[in-house]
Each structure stands twice: as C-alpha cells, then as structure tokens.
Chain A
Amino acid sequence: MSTEGPSRQEATAARVKALESMLIERGVMTTSMVDRIVDIYENQVGPQLGARVVAKAWNDNEFRRRLLDDATAACREMGIGGLQGEDMVVLEDTDAAHNAIVCTLCSCYPWPVLGLPPNWYKGPQYRARIVREPRRVLADDFGFTVPDSVEIRIWDSSSEMRYWVLPQRPAGTEGWSEEQLAALVTRDSMIGVGPVKAAP
C-alpha cells in the first residue's frame, strides 16, 4: 500500500461517485440515464451531422440560403437540432472573410451539429487568445494560415445563440454527391480553426 494521498483523479472519482450515490437515492438520476446520455454523445451526435448540413448547402443553393437565413429551421429539415443548438446561426466563409467561433466566458458550442467540444476549445489558452491574436493562433497552434488579405471575424458565443462555420467548398468537387462532399468536412473547419480536406 502506498502511504501517499490519493491522486487528483482518484479524489475526483471518489467525490463524483459519492455525489452520484446521493443523487440516485434522491431519485434524481439512475445509472441507465448516464449510459443513455453518454451513448448519445459518443455514438450519435457528432460532427458528422454538421458535415451533412455543410455538404447539402454546397450542393443546394436554396437550402444554403435557408441555412444562412435560419440555421435552426434549416437543420430541422434534416432532423438535426436540440440541446445547446436551440438558436443556431451559420457563418459563411468567402474569399473575403474567414470566420471562427469561441466562447471566452465558458465553453458554449453547437452540440447538435458538432457534438461535445474538444478539450482545447474549453481550455483557457484558446479562449484567451483567439479574440486577441486570431491569425497567430490559427497559424502557430493549428497550422492553418489565413492570408492577411482575408478579413478575420471571431464570434464569441456570449448568449444562447450558437454559431458555426460554413466553410468554402473545395475546388475539384463539381458533380460530387452530398455523401462524398460530407467526407471532406472536418470538425475544425466548422469551428473555423482548420481547413476542409482537399479533393484527391
């Protein structure tokens, strides 16, 4: 037996289990509730949903207009929406302007289209710097260069509006199906910190 105290992981795990045991006894939660919500965000709700929306917008100009006009309603057409995406706004990248999202005050993120955010999005470093030196963060931390000629717009999700990015369609994809296009869309491209994949 070690004579050292518990590690932080062990201490936190014990605290969580203690609180969980009491909430179970209060009738507030059950273990199957944990399994259900974890299954949803591990296996069902993720960036593949946002990628489908982007691909459809690339291939269907009418849908693209509806998406930019009311993203929540347009995503509902595809059966996509819900918790932490009740009021979504899609930001269209162009040759003249690039968009990226952040929540400097906590970790707000459009769950219904991107799933739960990666840890770096919730961490202090990204939240502190992206509003102040966006080009340098994208270049140095993500290897993603936005030319000085392109305006850079950062969207800070301070309210319940949830922003996400409609990246530009890559060249050489004329005539592609939505399924083929969706495979090019990355999570980072919908946050605004990375490119879509190039057509092979």
Chain B
Amino acid sequence: MNGVFDLGGTDGLGPVNPPDSEPVFRAEWEKAVFAMYPACVGAGYFGIDQFRHGVEKMDPATYLTSAYYEHWLHSIEAHAVAVGAIDPDELDRRTQHYLDNPEAPLPEHEQRQDLLDFVDAAVSVGASAGRRTVEQPRFSVGDKVRAADISPFGHTRLARYIRGKQAVVVAHRGSFIYPDSAGNGFGDAPEHVYTVKFSSEELWGRGFGDPSGSVCFDVWDPYLESIDEKEEARSA
C-alpha cells in the first residue's frame, strides 16, 4: 500500500537528533507491549508480515508522531480483535477501568514455565523466514534489472522510491516467505530474494543523488523485471 510508513526519500521531516543515551524501554507499558509480540505470535494471532501490515494501516498522522511501541500496540490489538481473541467493547471497558484506577492490579494468574521456555527458544533460535521453492532463481549476480512500477493495495515491501528504477543484482539470498502473500493472509508462497544495487543518481536524479552513493535493497522475484525482456516486449 502507498502509505506514509514508506518513508525512504521523504523530505521535510526534520533532523534526527540522536540523544547521547536512552533506556531500552522508556516506560513500563513499553515492556508489556514488547512481550505481547512473541506472546501473540506464539498464540497464532499473526505472523511478522501481517504484524507489519497492521502497523502500516495506522492513522498516518498518529504513525508519524507516536512513540514507537504504540505502533506495536495498534497492530497487536487489531489482530487480536480480528481473530476473535479480544472483544473490543470489553477492551474499552477495561481501559476505562485502568484509567480510573491506574494502580489496580492485573488479574491473578499462575506463572507458566512453558511460556518462559518459549521466550528463551524464540530469542536464541529465532524464526527463519527461509522456505524452499521448486522454482529456479530467475536472476544471477551481475544481471541488470528494473524494479516493477506497480502499486499493490495490500502489504508489500516494494518501497515507492525504487519503483521503476534500474539496478544490478549483487546477491541471491535464497527463497523466503513472500510478504505480498503472507502479509495479506494468503500464506508463505515463497519466492527468491535478491539484493539489488541502485545508484543514488538513478534514484534521485543527476545533481540530486550522491555521485558516489548507492542504495542496496532486497527484492523478492516478482518485484523485478528483466530489462532485456521488457525491451523485447516493447518492440514486439
């Protein structure tokens, strides 16, 4: 989707202002939201691509101005409601309850070793998105390619600033879950992933792009067009 989250190349947002230091979590609620991510993935509410798409669908003004973990809260809540695990009216009632009584305790519950083991395993092993496909890779290192100039409505990782731009394949990474399928709830549908390199002048134009700069970007196979194929199609 063509959303504001797709920020690469946007002007006018102001300076970065990195602080000298900051805590990992700036408030207690950030810790709880951070833990909800593995909890809800473990419960099967969403996968990482759907999670990202949930963030992308936030109100754009809120997205740009809110604390980072508010993005997570928005997506977790939306998915938990969508799968029927959370009743939104009940969530509203409890929110009011904790607004009126900020120190009110969480429900009593038993601690569970299986959930701690799940956290430890998730952190130390992770969850690779690598998936086998029977398709052979269509491109090789050194191939000249063009990023597809298309605007999918759902989740995609085809950023606007690379669309229609010419690049060179610098690596084939193997095959992985395809975000345009998985992020929209249609399953893994793995595709080959390549790293392609765009010159800064190709992206921003001569006089505007850094003359000795480049951007490397990872693309799934359907994001790429062979330049030769395209030219053949034109002349046919």
Residue A160 CB within 8 A of the other chain: yes
Which residue, A33, A133, A150, has most C-beta atoms of chain B within 10 A? A33
Contact B213 A34 (CB under 8 A): no
A83 and B38 CA atoms in complex are apart in Å by: 10
A13 and B129 CA atoms in complex are apart in Å by: 32
CB distance from B128 to the nearest CB of A (A): 4
Contact of B73 among A12, A45, A127 (CB under 8 A): A12
Contact A33 B176 (CB under 8 A): no
| Contact mask for chain A residues 1-30; partner B; CB cutoff 8 A; 1 contact, 0 none | 000001001111111111111111110111
Q: How large, as a class, is the contact surface on chain B?
A: 35 or more
Contact of A105 among B119, B159, B177 (CB under 8 A): B159
Contact B7 A28 (CB under 8 A): no
Residues of chain A within 8 A of B40, CB atoms compared = 23, 28
Residues 128-158 (chain A) with a chain B CB within 8 angstroms: 128-129, 131-135, 137, 140-142, 148-158
Contact B13 A124 (CB under 8 A): yes
Residues 89-124 (chain A) with a chain B CB within 8 angstroms: 89, 102, 104-107, 112, 115-116, 118-120, 122-124
Contact of B9 among A132, A142, A152 (CB under 8 A): A132
Contact A23 B215 (CB under 8 A): no
Contact A42 B34 (CB under 8 A): no
Residues 77-107 (chain B) with a chain A CB within 8 angstroms: 77, 80, 85-86, 90-91, 94-99, 102, 106-107
Contact B97 A34 (CB under 8 A): no
| Contact mask for chain B residues 33-44; partner A; CB cutoff 8 A; 1 contact, 0 none | 111101110110
Residue A78 CB within 8 A of the other chain: no
The closest CB in chain A to the CB of B26 belongs to A119
The closest CB in chain B to the CB of A155 belongs to B216
A155 and B214 CA atoms in complex are apart in Å by: 9
Contact of A6 among B39, B86, B99, B219 (CB under 8 A): B99
Q: How many A-B residue pairs have CB under 8 A?
A: 277
Contact of B123 among A83, A126, A150 (CB under 8 A): A83
Contact of B126 among A85, A124, A193 (CB under 8 A): A85
The closest CB in chain B to the CB of A156 belongs to B217
Residues of chain B within 8 A of A25, CB atoms compared = 107, 109
Contact A152 B213 (CB under 8 A): yes
CB distance from B125 to the nearest CB of A (A): 6
Contact of A22 among B94, B120, B176 (CB under 8 A): B94
Answer whether A21 and B94 are a contact pair too, CB < 8 Å, given A13-B28, A83-B122, A86-B126.
yes
Residues of chain A within 8 A of B91, CB atoms compared = 15, 18-19, 22
The closest CB in chain B to the CB of A127 belongs to B7
Which residue, A89, A137, A150, has most C-beta atoms of chain B within 10 A? A89
Residue B207 CB within 8 A of the other chain: no
Instruction: For the A-B complex with A21-B107, A33-B35, A42-B24 known, give 19 more contacts whose Cβ atoms are closer than 8 Å.
Output: A13-B29, A15-B95, A21-B106, A24-B106, A28-B85, A30-B109, A36-B119, A81-B126, A82-B125, A83-B123, A89-B171, A119-B22, A126-B16, A132-B161, A137-B16, A142-B16, A153-B213, A161-B193, A161-B218
A–B Cβ pairs within 8 angstroms, 8 of them: A24-B106, A38-B25, A38-B35, A83-B127, A141-B15, A149-B212, A156-B216, A160-B177
Interface residue ranges, B against A (CB under 8 Å): 5-11, 13-19, 22, 24-29, 31-36, 38-40, 42-43, 52, 55, 64, 67-68, 70, 73, 76-77, 80, 85-86, 90-91, 94-99, 102, 106-107, 109-112, 115-116, 119-120, 122-130, 157, 159, 161, 171, 173, 176-177, 193, 195, 197, 203-204, 209-210, 212-220
